[in-house]
Amino acid sequence: MKPSDITVGVIGYGGAFNMGKHHLELAAQAGMRPLAVAEIDPQRLDAAKKDFPGIETYSSTSAMLKKSDVKLVIIITPHNSHAPLALQCLNAGRHVVVEKPLAITTAQCDAMIAAAKKNHVMLSTYHNRHWDGSIVEALRHVKAGTIGSIVRIEAHIGSYAKPADWWRSSKKISGGILYDWGVHLLEYCLQLINAKITEVVGFATRGVWAPFTPYKNDTNEDEATAIVRFSNGAFVNLRISHLDLNPKPALLEITGTKGTYLMDHSWFEIITPQNGKTVRVRGNNPPSDYSQFYKNIADHLTHHAPLIITPEWARRPIHILDLADQSARKGKALKPKYD
C-alpha cells in the first residue's frame, strides 16, 4: 500500500481555528489523499469546497460512511462527540484519528480502544504538541541531566476573566476546564516523567463566573487542579484557572535535584546554582513540526511503523482528568485503573 491509497475524510470543519483545513493539508503533505468532509453546518461545508475544490461533502457522518470510500477518518468536533463518532467510524471498519482529547472519560477511551481492536483498525489522537519545539528542547536538556532528577512539575495557565461564550465553556460538552489546554500540558508532563501514575487528587471551584455565561448550571469550573503522584516520587501539579490574578511566568516549571527549567512556547530558561550564585540561561525553542504526526500515521498504515501516539498513550491524560474530576467531588485521592 502507498500513502496515496489512504483516502481521508474529516468530520467537523469548524471555523474557530480552521482545523479541518490544517488536518487535510498535513495529511496531504504526508502523501495521503483528502477525499471527503462531513459537517452539520452548511456554511462550513461551503468553506471546505472552496479550500479543496472537488472534495466530497456530506451533512452527516452516516452519509459519509455509507457513500464515501474514506479509509481514514479524522474527527475534529466538540469533545463530547469524540467517543460516539469514533465508535461509529471504527465499527464501520475505518481507521480513526481523533482530535485531542481522545474522549472525556476512561470508560469512553476503553470502548474506543476495544472497538479498534475488534475491527482491526488504527486509533490515534492528534497530540500535535508532542512535536512542539518547547517540549523537544526540554526533553533534550532533561535527558542530558542538566537539572538532575525531576522532583515536580508545575503546569499552570491562568487569567482572571469570564470564560468565552462557546462550547469550550460548557462542562457537558468540553469535559471541563482541564480538557482543552490541560490535556496538552499533561501530555508534556507524561513525556518528562517516565514513571507509573500511583495516585490522583483533584480540586475544583465552581459558580463564580457561571451566572454570567450562557451555560449557567453547566459552565466549566472556575478553576480546577489535578495533582498526580508518580511511582518514582515525582509529582505534577496541573492547574487551569479563570480566577488567577497572578499568572505564572512559564507554561511549565520543572524542578529537579540540580536546577529548575522554565518551559514556555517560544523560550526556555535554565536556572542552576553555581558557586553560591543563581545562574539563569535563556534560549529560544526550535520550531514545532506537526507534520511528524501524519508522517507517522502514513508510515504506520503503509509499512507497519510503530504508532507514536497510541490510544493507550492518549488515554493516560484522560484517565488523570477523569480521576481528578471524581476526586474533587469525593474529596479524596484516588488510585488509577491504568498507570
Ligand X SMILES: NC(=O)c1ccc[n+]([C@@H]2O[C@H](COP(=O)([O-])OP(=O)(O)OC[C@H]3O[C@@H](n4cnc5c(N)ncnc54)[C@H](O)[C@@H]3O)[C@@H](O)[C@H]2O)c1
Q: Which is nearer to ligand X, 100 or 239 (CB)?
A: 100
Handedness of CA 330, 335, 337, 338 (dihedral sign): positive
d(Cα 303, Cα 305) in Å, to the nearest integer? 5
Q: Which is nearer to ligand X, 129 or 156 (CB)?
A: 129
Among residues 132, 137, 154, 180, the one that binds ligand X under rule CB under 6 A: 180
What the block records as the C-alpha cell of 318 is: 484522560
Q: Which is nearer to ligand X, 190 or 270 (CB)?
A: 190
**Interface with ligand X includes 214 (CB under 6 A)?**
no
Instruction: Bin 86: left if φ > 0, else alpha if -120 < ψ < 50, else beta.
Output: alpha
Among residues 128, 220, 241, 288, the one that binds ligand X under rule CB under 6 A: 128
What the block records as the C-alpha cell of 241 is: 484557572
- Show contacts with ligand X in window 83-102 (CB under 6 A): 99-100
**Interface with ligand X includes 171 (CB under 6 A)?**
no
What the block records as the C-alpha cell of 245 is: 490574578
Q: For residue 119, what are the β-bridge partners?
A: none
Q: Which is nearer to ligand X, 7 or 57 (CB)?
A: 57
d(Cα 49, Cα 53) in Å, to the nearest integer? 5
Among residues 52, 126, 235, 293, the one that binds ligand X under rule CB under 6 A: 126
Among residues 9, 12, 175, 256, the one that binds ligand X under rule CB under 6 A: 12
Q: Which is nearer to ligand X, 3 or 14 (CB)?
A: 14
**Interface with ligand X includes 318 (CB under 6 A)?**
no
The secondary structure of the chain in percent helix, strand, coil, rounded to multiples of 5, reads 40, 25, 35
- Show contacts with ligand X in window 21-80 (CB under 6 A): 38-41, 44, 61, 76-79
Handedness of CA 112, 114, 120, 123 (dihedral sign): positive
Contact positions vs ligand X (CB under 6 A): 11-17, 19, 38-41, 44, 61, 76-79, 81, 99-100, 126, 128, 180
